Structure 1
Amino acid sequence: MSDDTASDETGQIPTNLRLLMLLEEVARAGVPVTPSAINEVLCLPKPTIHRLFHTAEAEGFLQRDLDGRSYSPGRRLRRFAVATLSSERVRAVQLAILRRVAEEIGETCNIATPDRDGMFYLDRVETHWPLRIQLPIGTRVPFHCTASGKMYLSSLRQDYLNRFLKNYKLTPVTSKSITDAAKLKAELAQTRERGYSTDNEEFMDGMVAIALPIRDMQGRLLSTLSVHAPLQRHDLASLTQKLDVLIAGSAELSDTLCS
Structure 2
Amino acid sequence: MNNGKNTIKSIDKALDVLEILADEKRPIGVTELSKLLVVNKSTLHGTLNTLLNRGYVEQDSESGKYLLGISILGIANAALQNLDLRNKAKPVLKKLSDRHNETVHMVVLRQGEVVYIEKQESVQSIRIHTEIGTRLPAHCTGVGKVLLAWMEPEERKKIFRSYGFPKFTLNTITDEETMERHLAEVRSKGHAIDNEEIEEGLRCVAAPIRDYSGKVIAGISIAGPSLRMPLTKLEEMSDSVTEAALEISQSLGF
Task: Give the TM-score normalised by the residue count of structure 1.
Answer: 0.67
CA shift digits 1:164-203 (9 cap, x unpaired): 3233321112222111111111101111111111111011
Structure 1 residues without counterparts, runs of 5 or longer: 1-53, 61-72
Tell me if 1:81 matches 2:78: yes
CA shift digits 1:42-88 (9 cap, x unpaired): xxxxxxxxxxxx8472439xxxxxxxxxxxx989945752454225x
3-state SS of 1:179 partner = coil
Q: How many residues align?
A: 192
Name the structure 2 match of 1:221.
216
Identity %: 26
3-state SS of 1:156 partner = coil
Tell me if 1:57 matches 2:54: yes
Name the structure 1 match of 2:242.
247
Tell me if 1:147 matches 2:142: yes
Q: Which amino acid aligns with 2:78?
A: A
3-state SS of 2:88 partner = helix
Paired with 2:228 and 2:143, the residues of 1 have a C-alpha distance of 20
Structure with bigger gyration radius: 2
Tell me if 1:104 matches 2:99: yes
1:212 Cα offset (Å): 0.4
Q: CA RMSD in A?
A: 2.5
Q: Which amino acid aligns with 1:86?
A: L
Contact 2:191 2:242 in 1 (8 A): no
1:241 Cα offset (Å): 0.5
Q: Which amino acid aligns with 1:134?
A: H
3-state SS of 1:111 partner = strand
Name the structure 2 match of 1:182.
177
Paired with 1:204 and 1:123, the residues of 2 have a C-alpha distance of 20
CA shift digits 1:68-119 (9 cap, x unpaired): xxxxx989945752454225xx644321111001111221111101111301
Contact 2:108 2:116 in 1 (8 A): yes
Contact 2:190 2:242 in 1 (8 A): no
Task: Give the TM-score normalised by the residue count of structure 2.
Answer: 0.69
3-state SS of 1:134 partner = coil
